Amino acid sequence: MRRRRRRRRFVLWTTVTGIVVLVGAIGAVSTMIVSAIAAPSDEVAAATPDPTPTPTRELIVFPDDEPAATAGAEPCAVVRVLASFENAHMVENLAAAYNSQPRNVAGSCVTVEASKDKSGGAADAVASGFASLADDQKPTVWLPDSSTWVDIALAKGATVLHAEGTSVAYSHIVLAMPQPLAEAVGWDEDAPTWTEVFQAAGDPDLWSGLGHPEWGTFKLGKTSPLVATSGEAAMFVSFGTAAGSLDGFTAAQVADAAIKGAVHENELATSHYMATPEHFLWHARQAEASGTAADFLSAVIVDEKSVWDYNRGITSRDGVTVVQDDPPAEQLTAIYPSDGYYTANNPAIRLTGPWIDPVEAEAAADFIRFTLTKQGQAAVRTSGYRDLNRALDADVARVGRLDVDRDGVLGFPEGDVVTAVQTAFPDVRKRANVLFLLDVSGSMDELISDSDTKLTQARKAIEAALGHFTTGDDVGLAAFAQAPDGSMVPGLLAAPSDIGSSRDAFLAALGGIRSMGDTPLYQAVDTFAAQQAASWSPERINAVVLLSDGENDAPNAPTIGADQVLANLRDLHHSTPVLLFTLAYGADADVKTLQSISGATGAHYYDATDPSKLQSVLGDLVTSF
């Protein structure tokens, strides 16, 4: 498939000679080398040839690693590598493989340490020069799962990138479907175009027309393009199909009103957005446990590695804590659309800054050298990724149901297009109908700092989260406690309405909230979920965002029980689905109940049991809209 050349390419050593020369250069310790590596660069790397293998291109022969005979002296130089949530497992394996052999860089031993952040969050941190971190915690290498985040960081003013980067692995971004659904629509044998995907997702009668009314409507899941690479790729294909070219659309086309209108129509098929692929796939597994994954999703745009993880029974509720279970009965099938797909290209980028001394800089370069060796690329493959020849481990391909020889990789858009798509997302995304539901029982008066109670902190966090919403989003506010006479108070404070014109009224209602009484949690959930369902619209993400710091406690009047609440939520989910996102606020929150409430609606549970983290957690939550 024809692919447009990018203005800037990622450096990829493609010959044995090139790599061996680099190995030798790094091995020779000299003042000249140390100074050159440590020096900041004012420009990103120059253009280099397209690294994508073609049928006529000679494959790379990876050299053997050349560890030191004995490790250098302690204390070891520390290379801190910041990864994305998506590729963190691979980066951890690369670090472990590098650390398993003795290293000697400028007379010092070396230890590589890996950390991770959501892709969008990491790009923001890079752009700020890691302003929130102490120098001894700042990374030496950034290894995002896609070069598009380098474009974002540079657009936001990043000055700490030593060079643009070196791809170390690939993972195609595909359409993943539960196998029965892929077979029913025929895409397991005959891959659709992206236009056909969007058309199918917008057809409310697709599954019933194929003899499966029990699957409901076509539910297309996407991650947020502000947070995850798969979400970016989903927006690229949406804009590309609307513009008539997946690999040649421009920033001017992204800004075109007609094209944005077509993209918005595509986005109406989105069930809702989530921060990471792990969020979606965790919920799919929960849905299968209670019936079928089709109750939660029909298809989701994710990377191949996530498909492999899911099919071998690995899921994560939060992207941090990984759970290994039996493989799912409903395996995912990776669909490679026939008009092309993007690939996460995992660039390793040395950083520059006053916190990095010359030895650490040289050690960082040595770690990147290792990733391109036979041993490094073996770690890439066994981590579920394609190596630099696009080769997959045979067992990964089998378990993941991945296509080994698939051809059709699209080049990422230019940097200005990447940033234009992110800028356009608030305009084209599916609109929201959201009710914030706040527990205002007496325990919300608890001090959590010298200046804030739980309630004042919650007000600040909700006000900050409001910045995510834009004209066209309906946003409302309700609060709940139980009065001495058994009534639920104060109730609905600001009915959901267009936040473009109701923001001041919303903030006035938020500022007037006071704590009082007990906690009729079940009654509040049942009442306000039903109210949101009454105003349900297929053209909106219909949701409740619940913040609660305690368990159900309603002694002054009988209330509905937990089992009945969950049954009612499940019934709503099949007719007028309202997503009920729950947020545990403080150490006394009823985590188990909040998890079951969100799970019954296909929404996500968020943990702010450390109340100081509320604003960041709530900020993460609203990326679902």
Q: What is the CATH number of the domain that holds 505?
A: 3.40.50.410
pLDDT digits (tens, 9 = 90+) for 411-443: 999 999 999 999 999 899 999 999 999 999 999
User: Among the ranges 21-35, 71-85, 444-458, which has the highest mean pLDDT value?
Assistant: 71-85
Number of C-beta neighbours around residue 95 at 10 A: 22
3-state secondary structure 176-234: EEEHHHHHHHCCCCCCCCHHHHHHHHCCCCHHHHCCCHHHCCCCEEEECCCCCHHHHHH
CA distance 363 to 112: 9
pLDDT band at 448 (very low <50, low <70, confident <90, very high): confident
**Could you tell me how far CA 118 lies from the centroid of its own chain?**
6
Whether 304 is in a domain gets the answer yes
Whether 51 is in a domain gets the answer yes
CA quadruple 574, 579, 580, 584: dihedral sign: positive
Domain check: are 459 and 572 in the same one? Answer: yes
In this prediction the pTM is 0.83
pLDDT score recorded for residue 46: 29
Q: What is the mean pLDDT of residues 547-563?
A: 87
Tokens for 483, please give them.
């009065």
Number of C-beta neighbours around residue 218 at 10 A: 23
Whether 602 is in a domain gets the answer yes
Order of strands, sheet of 347-350, starting from the edge strand that comes earlier in the sequence: 108-117, 73-84, 141-143, 347-350, 166-167
Domains held by the chain: number:
3
Whether 10 is in a domain gets the answer no
Whether 177 is in a domain gets the answer yes
User: Among the ranges 2-11, 583-592, 605-614, which has the highest mean pLDDT value?
Assistant: 583-592
The total number of residues written for the chain in this structure: 625
Domain check: are 510 and 589 in the same one? Answer: yes
Domain check: are 158 and 188 in the same one? Answer: no
For the chain, give the percent of residues with pLDDT over 70. Answer: 91
Whether 231 is in a domain gets the answer yes
CA distance 73 to 330: 52
Sequence-ordered list of residues with C-beta below 8 angstroms from that of 552, at least 6 positions apart, any chain: 519, 520, 521, 522, 559, 562, 590, 593
Sequence-ordered list of residues with C-beta below 8 angstroms from that of 250, at least 6 positions apart, any chain: 243, 417
pLDDT tops 60 at residue 475: yes
Backbone phi, then psi, for 561, in 5-degree steps?
Answer: -90, 165
pLDDT tops 50 at residue 35: no
Burial of 454 (0-12, 13-18, 19+ CB in 10 A): buried
pLDDT tops 50 at residue 476: yes
Sequence-ordered list of residues with C-beta below 8 angstroms from that of 107, at least 6 positions apart, any chain: 29, 72, 73
pLDDT band at 57 (very low <50, low <70, confident <90, very high): low
Domain check: are 475 and 606 in the same one? Answer: yes
pLDDT band at 269 (very low <50, low <70, confident <90, very high): confident
pLDDT score recorded for residue 397: 96
pLDDT tops 80 at residue 478: yes
Domain check: are 97 and 84 in the same one? Answer: yes
The CATH number for 148's domain is 3.40.190.10
Backbone phi, then psi, for 435, in 5-degree steps?
Answer: -115, 120
- Residue 121 sits at the vertex; the CA angle it makes with 448 and 144, to the nearest 5 degrees, is 145
Domain check: are 191 and 310 in the same one? Answer: yes
CB-based contact 110:68 (threshold 8 Å): no
CA distance 86 to 88: 6
Whether 406 is in a domain gets the answer no
Report which of residues 156 and 8 the model is more confident about: 156
CA distance 516 to 490: 9
Q: What is the mean pLDDT of residues 242-265?
A: 94
CA distance 128 to 156: 8
Domain check: are 580 and 605 in the same one? Answer: yes
Domain check: are 201 and 238 in the same one? Answer: yes
Report which of residues 187 and 621 the model is more confident about: 187
pLDDT score recorded for residue 270: 83
Domain check: are 241 and 358 in the same one? Answer: no
Q: What is the mean pLDDT of residues 64-84?
A: 97
pLDDT tops 80 at residue 236: yes
End position of a domain, from candidates 402, 424, 446:
424
Supply the range of the domain harboring residue 85.
16-169+345-390
CA distance 284 to 287: 5
pLDDT score recorded for residue 278: 83
Domain check: are 80 and 154 in the same one? Answer: yes
CA distance 550 to 574: 29
CB-based contact 624:275 (threshold 8 Å): yes
Maximal CA-CA distance, the chain: 83
**Could you tell me how far CA 346 lies from the centroid of its own chain?**
15
CB-based contact 459:500 (threshold 8 Å): no
Sequence-ordered list of residues with C-beta below 8 angstroms from that of 616, at least 6 positions apart, any chain: none
CB-based contact 308:130 (threshold 8 Å): no
pLDDT tops 90 at residue 280: no
CB-based contact 625:426 (threshold 8 Å): no
pLDDT tops 50 at residue 2: no
CA distance 536 to 557: 30
Domain check: are 383 and 416 in the same one? Answer: no
Whether 66 is in a domain gets the answer yes
pLDDT tops 70 at residue 444: yes
Domain check: are 307 and 363 in the same one? Answer: no
